[in-house]
Chains A and B, each alone.
Chain A
């Protein structure tokens, strides 16, 4: 207390402080019960958008999308909140807290498909309002299926990253005398690696193994290549064949001979840099790997690097998507639906994906403004027979099963025991 206020005794201050603290506590405990915040009837034009694209290409992409939307709907304001933190685990937590408190955001960034089960019961059907005939005609069957939860359309996929890619450094493959187009099965990749190891100093297959995700997506790609779409779908539906799963794992074990020797200490970025520097020949990744290539000087698509569909999976486009769902008890129903419709438009998707490096899910999108690699991917996408959902990227299996699968692979990375891991993967569904 300053000496200019002599009338306030210390005790009064203390009493007031503690009273305020108690009042504050009362406020805390009261907050959970009521439906405060959710009743945004009056402020219905402010759209609360939560996403984890707080930096890099993701941030540029969401900014482009919002800018495009606001040109069409200048009356809608955005309370846009990037939630910091690696990937989206932190974002899910924020959304969960808001849902528990009965204060849902307008929409948030999430994987579609089975990941939606995490917030089971929080979505509202938007068939008709957003998912009109135009969307249904122009989304291919695979992405369209992922937009549904329990048979109703609840979310709008915005982009597609492909998982079954094999990227390569052209110079290294030429030196080794390997023609990537000639590879037709996962075991051909192993043979090619052997040739590369014999003919060059480069690491044949750049891979990181400190975290499990790269290995899960490699295995799911090989499973798709070996067991075909039927075998793959049987697995994600919980009816997988142990022998097929083990065979795909064995193929990963064979490939692991050709990993960098320090694969357990490096990150995806470092592995990808090895390909760019000519220190590695192949890398299997989602097409975000190409984002790093296009940002690099003197590393050009077609000349310095190339991509083939992972051998054996040429008829499939293995999906990893981001989407914006519609949450029930929405604070801004009209504005949210307008925004989701824009996310479902070819125009919005092209703006977004031009920055993000992925492709639009709408098969009628005009991709001439995207780069050559994206145009090639889009062509593959429209020509693919099927668009199965990715296991690692949350589309194919529910969160509990996904955790079991990750656990199985965290053990696989320790001992590379294909038989034991195959049993664990089959049991992941029980």
Chain B
């Protein structure tokens, strides 16, 4: 069976004439001839699917955030305004509600604090672990697996586990604190420690991931670099600080992006730990606020507006990464 495309191309080629001036390639055949068109059956279906379900959904969400959609029924797309964003930034009583709605600053601030502290500490811990595991120690694989294992747990398991670990009477954290003469300290509902406790548990879960990324980066550095630094008389710390770590830039950036996105998704953790989407003002993040507005109150448009803010925050982190990758020709 001859492929229709091949037949068509053959016909077009029959009509094509060679022109002395080189011609202006305007024949219809040239479009069908392009690689991008010929490979369309391979890239088009996933392109359409992702376009519709991811980018389409994002755009729809943005449009939805401009409506007054609330409760049952369907959104009215004829009157779009930025009211929800005004409410999100300054609060007030919106036209779609009888109740006053508070701004999202508190949740946004908590989100940023959680994101930054979690990502930075996670990277630091991961780097140290990677360097230690890279020393060609015995049972290296075992250590690697042990460090990575928490990542395989779901947020729900981690949350319940740390709820137990933070227990004032029987939790390991307070037992250790007690051994060094501190405490016992209330952690789970302590406004000063809540967010730190959440970040700590997440660091425990994800530093293994940072370690794996760094380990791969370290293994890619030729041994000669280590040897050259040694020959030049660099101490171990100086060698890592001046020679090795600068070469881990790519690993750092890619791990950072993934970790940041994880921190934006800490919703599951808070939901499990505090038995719902009310973790309290000192641990409330945009994700919990968004779900509260949308699913508890039925304020769909306002929930969408918070989702857009969350999306912009994620984009602000990912976009520079993608741009530098693009500039360095790695994309």
The answer to whether A and B belong to the same complex is: yes
Interface residues of A (CB under 8 A from B): 7, 9, 11, 14-15, 17-18, 21-22, 25, 86, 89, 92-93, 96, 99-100, 118-122, 209-213, 260-262, 264-267, 399-404, 406-407, 409-411, 413-415, 427-430
Q: What chain B residues lie within 8 Å of A120 (beta carbons)?
A: 71-72
User: How far is B296's CA from A404's CA once the two chains are assembled, in angstroms?
Assistant: 10
In the bound complex, do residue B72 and residue A122 qualify as a contact, i.e. CB atoms below 8 Å apart?
yes
In the bound complex, do residue B194 and residue A414 qualify as a contact, i.e. CB atoms below 8 Å apart?
yes
Contacts A/B (CB < 8 Å), 18 sampled: A18-B48, A25-B48, A86-B275, A89-B296, A100-B72, A210-B163, A210-B273, A211-B278, A399-B298, A402-B296, A403-B297, A404-B99, A406-B278, A407-B292, A409-B278, A413-B280, A414-B281, A415-B191
Q: What chain A residues lie within 8 Å of B276 (beta carbons)?
A: 89, 211-213, 406
User: How far is B194's CA from A415's CA once the two chains are assembled, in angstroms?
Assistant: 12
**Nearest neighbor of A29 in chain B, beta-carbon distance:** B52
**Nearest neighbor of A118 in chain B, beta-carbon distance:** B298
User: Does B326 lie at the interface of the complex (its beta carbon under 8 Å from any beta carbon of A)?
Assistant: no
In the bound complex, do residue B298 and residue A262 qualify as a contact, i.e. CB atoms below 8 Å apart?
no
Q: What chain A residues lie within 8 Å of B299 (beta carbons)?
A: 400
Known contacts: A100-B72, A121-B73, A400-B97. The answer to whether A414 contacts B282 by CB under 8 A is yes
Interface 1/0s, chain B 179-210, versus A by CB < 8 A?
00000101111110010000000000000000
Shortest distance from the beta carbon of A264 to any chain B beta carbon, whole Å: 4
Which residue of A21, A410, A411, A427 contacts B100 across the interface (Cβ within 8 Å)? A427
Shortest distance from the beta carbon of A29 to any chain B beta carbon, whole Å: 9
User: How far is B163's CA from A261's CA once the two chains are assembled, in angstroms?
Assistant: 14
Known contacts: A209-B189, A261-B168. The answer to whether A14 contacts B42 by CB under 8 A is yes
Q: What chain B residues lie within 8 Å of A99 (beta carbons)?
A: 72
Interface residues of B (CB under 8 A from A): 1, 3, 41-42, 44-45, 48-49, 52, 71-74, 97-100, 163-164, 166-171, 184, 186-191, 194, 273-276, 278-282, 284, 292, 295-299
Q: What chain B residues lie within 8 Å of A93 (beta carbons)?
A: 295
Chain A CB count within 10 A is highest, among B71, B73, B169, for B71
Shortest distance from the beta carbon of B164 to any chain A beta carbon, whole Å: 7
**Nearest neighbor of A414 in chain B, beta-carbon distance:** B191
In the bound complex, do residue B166 and residue A403 qualify as a contact, i.e. CB atoms below 8 Å apart?
no
User: How far is B298's CA from A92's CA once the two chains are assembled, in angstroms?
Assistant: 11
Shortest distance from the beta carbon of B291 to any chain A beta carbon, whole Å: 9
Beyond the given pairs A18-B48, A21-B49, A414-B280, 17 more chain A to chain B contacts, judged by CB atoms under 8 angstroms and listed by A's residue number, are A7-B1, A93-B295, A96-B298, A100-B74, A120-B71, A121-B73, A210-B273, A211-B274, A212-B274, A264-B186, A400-B99, A400-B297, A403-B297, A414-B282, A415-B191, A427-B100, A429-B99
Which residue of A25, A399, A430 contacts B297 across the interface (Cβ within 8 Å)? A399
In the bound complex, do residue B1 and residue A9 qualify as a contact, i.e. CB atoms below 8 Å apart?
yes
Q: What chain A residues lie within 8 Å of B3 (beta carbons)?
A: 9, 11
Known contacts: A261-B168, A400-B97, A430-B99. The answer to whether A212 contacts B278 by CB under 8 A is yes
Q: What chain A residues lie within 8 Å of B297 (beta carbons)?
A: 399-400, 403
Shortest distance from the beta carbon of A89 to any chain B beta carbon, whole Å: 7
User: How far is B72's CA from A402's CA once the two chains are assembled, in angstroms?
Assistant: 18
Shortest distance from the beta carbon of B292 to any chain A beta carbon, whole Å: 6
User: How far is B191's CA from A415's CA once the two chains are assembled, in angstroms?
Assistant: 7
Shortest distance from the beta carbon of A235 to any chain B beta carbon, whole Å: 16
User: How far is B181's CA from A296's CA once the two chains are assembled, in angstroms?
Assistant: 40
Which residue of B72, B100, B170, B280 contacts A119 across the interface (Cβ within 8 Å)? B72
